[in-house]
Structure 1
């Protein structure tokens, strides 16, 4: 079994990603942009819109990414053009386009889409359209470089390189992985699994040098993980395994609570020391990336 890989990018994707990052409070402390970005952005929004996002945080509908992808198969789309097109579609048209990839739809699909469009328009007007456009230019450069690299290596290897350790396993039904650089969720790579298609939005970073594509292993992150005794213990456990381990297995083996295990695993992923084997959105396993440069530093420290 195998799947194909396609590299895409559009301002419309970053529009949705940026609002998602703002709404996802559980990740704010993990983002490079951090809580300061959230607070600064909050001040840029009107009180009514900010209160709406704060009091009843809506959940963005993941298939919005599929609809952007389908539009990109026809032409490049801006954030405004995507929202205009989405508003022009009725429920039957959306259902027809998404039915190959989506099992369940909201009961009031047109109403749900109307609410999402309203949120995204307000977000676009008050934040996204005013952000530094250099970010978008660099994301397009990252897309171009990733696309060029895809012609030189197998798709799964490219994915692991640009995500610093994500490996999408060729499970039954998976036919394509859509790879897209993103800025707002960095250093986290975000993925959504649909029927037959997985969307992976990787942390491209903002360096001004597209040649650094996918190199999220910073000296600071590596140094931090190698100074952490819990990280080192988890590495030793994984290094001694003959097959990947689940998060629950790690937590039980290490006799650690879930929060402590999560923090250590996150540091190891950021440092590029471990591989995440993704089977579904809720089923993933971990192994050591012995071929990664960071692993050699770990060996030196352990000797």
Structure 2
């Protein structure tokens, strides 16, 4: 029997510093995030052209392994605290901190550290320290809210609530999961598996900006598509893999993947992960049916 994994909820502005830089560099690949061309345009307007070119030329790990380092930092309450700590780490210390979790580690850790610290300092100066001042306090509060639920929720259920439909199943290869709120990649969840540990940067949304009517319209537009409705009817019978759905609907896997992503985005189906950042199978979120009915009624009773 697979053992249970433990879960911790963390917050640090350093996590959001990394996520925002990741979002900026890889925005062309992140097609489903809310921050679009206007954000890129406005951000570029405040960044020197030579730094933009420097970012476009970089090929180093900008997010995933640095997240592991942040989780081990005791001085991550501020950006400067984390960057000072990171800068002081020797190449040997970085290796020791990553070796338990990562199979392949570069032999040029000192150079990677220096380049990474320099770029993060610049990104903080040109962009991050000028972000909306409401973002970081909201992320901190969201993490606090989730942390208060840790004792009353099973880890898998709290993760599903935080991510709006992702289920991290137990597996022999997973001992611990770190749950971290993030803003810049909303509504995408950034999930990474390492040796024995997984990091889940979930999208935190501001309920003060929640518009029930708009959310209902998004939901109805999503499930109003014939293909997506057929997928829902198929997974409602029992959990299905991508291959199952592909064979059933006789559509290209890329097309199926696109429709599943849309259904996941509005919280209609679950994605189940077992020891890998690729979903193992999908299932219907049955509570969606009840919530949809209740919310639909509220539109006419308010």
Give TM-score, length-normalised by structure 1: 0.88
Distance 1:159-1:124 versus aligned 2 partners, 3 A rule: same
Could you say which residue in structure 1 is the equivalent of 2:215? Answer: 218
Aligned ranges for residues 43-192 of structure 1 at < 5 Å? 43-56=45-58, 58-71=60-73, 74-192=74-192
Q: 1:247 aligns with which of 237, 242, 249?
A: 242
Instruction: Please tell me whether residue 231 in structure 1 is matched to residue 233 in structure 2.
Output: no
Q: Is residue 13–residue 76 contact of structure 2 (8 Å, CA) maintained in 1?
A: no
Shift in Å, 1:107: 2.3
C-alpha separation in 2, matches of 1:66 and 1:208: 31
Distance 1:296-1:140 versus aligned 2 partners, 3 A rule: closer
Shift in Å, 1:120: 1.4
Distance 1:26-1:255 versus aligned 2 partners, 3 A rule: farther
Q: Is residue 190–residue 202 contact of structure 1 (8 Å, CA) maintained in 2?
A: yes
Shift in Å, 1:292: 2.7
Shift in Å, 1:55: 4.8
1:31 aligned counterpart, secondary structure:
coil
C-alpha separation in 2, matches of 1:291 and 1:27: 31
Shift in Å, 1:62: 1.4
Could you say which residue in structure 1 is the equivalent of 2:286? Answer: 290
Shift in Å, 1:134: 0.9
Q: Is residue 7–residue 178 contact of structure 2 (8 Å, CA) maintained in 1?
A: yes
2:185 aligned counterpart, secondary structure:
coil
C-alpha separation in 1, matches of 2:48 and 2:26: 19
Matched residue count: 290
Give TM-score, length-normalised by structure 2: 0.88
Q: Is residue 29–residue 35 contact of structure 1 (8 Å, CA) maintained in 2?
A: no
Could you say which residue in structure 2 is the equivalent of 1:6? Answer: 8
C-alpha separation in 2, matches of 1:99 and 1:59: 15
Distance 1:12-1:4 versus aligned 2 partners, 3 A rule: same
Shift in Å, 1:158: 0.6
Could you say which residue in structure 2 is the equivalent of 1:259? Answer: 254
Distance 1:245-1:93 versus aligned 2 partners, 3 A rule: same
2:271 aligned counterpart, secondary structure:
strand
C-alpha separation in 2, matches of 1:223 and 1:27: 26
Q: Is residue 271–residue 294 contact of structure 1 (8 Å, CA) maintained in 2?
A: no
Shift in Å, 1:294: 6.2
C-alpha separation in 2, matches of 1:57 and 1:220: 40
Q: Is residue 18–residue 184 contact of structure 1 (8 Å, CA) maintained in 2?
A: yes
C-alpha separation in 1, matches of 2:161 and 2:91: 39
Instruction: Identify which range, 171-180 or 29-38, moves more after superposition.
Output: 29-38
Q: Is residue 250–residue 261 contact of structure 1 (8 Å, CA) maintained in 2?
A: yes
C-alpha separation in 2, matches of 1:182 and 1:144: 13
